[in-house]
Amino acid sequence: MKMIKAVIRPEKTDEVVEALAREGFLALTRVEVVGRGKQGGLTVGEVVYDELPKSLLLLVVPDEEVPRVCTIIMETARTGRFGDGKIFVSPVEEAYTIRTGEAEL
């Protein structure tokens, strides 16, 4: 299993969550965060915004579903402008359901 962490524009979050749900990926965690990318934030005139609002989506999916989920996120979240976000994929070694104590892997 893999953990997909997607940092996206907050205005695209609902659209991405709905697209994932339509494709059967219902389980996720959504967190409102702030951050900046390689550009170091946003400069408007003399004002520098070095921490911009973003949404962080966390999903755990089977290895074979990673390309599909990443494609859904990229196609739905993309505006073509700086700040569209980033997707990180990492292995999940263990997972447990708290209510039952069952191992998920």
Cα(97)–Cα(102) distance, integer angstroms: 5
H helix or E strand, kind and range, residue 70 = helix 66-77
pLDDT per position as a tens digit, 14-34: 999 999 999 999 999 999 999
For tokens 């074979």, name the residue.
Answer: 64
The percent of residues in the chain predicted with pLDDT above 90, rounded, is 80
Helix (H, G, I), strand (E, B) or coil at 63: helix
- Taking the mean position of all CA atoms in its chain, how far away is CA 18? 13
CATH code of the region 2-91: 3.30.70.120
- Match 């959504």 to its residue by tokens: 30
**Domain residue ranges of the chain, discontinuous segments joined by +:** 2-91
**For residues 24 and 73, what is the distance between their CA atoms, to the nearest angstrom?**
13
**How far, in Å, CA of 10 to CA of 52, rounded?**
10
Region 42-71 average pLDDT: 93
pLDDT score of 8: 98
Percent of the chain with pLDDT over 70: 99
69 has pLDDT over 90: yes
Question: In which band, very low, low, confident or very high, does the pLDDT at 46 lie, cut at 50, 70 and 90?
Answer: confident
pTM: 0.91
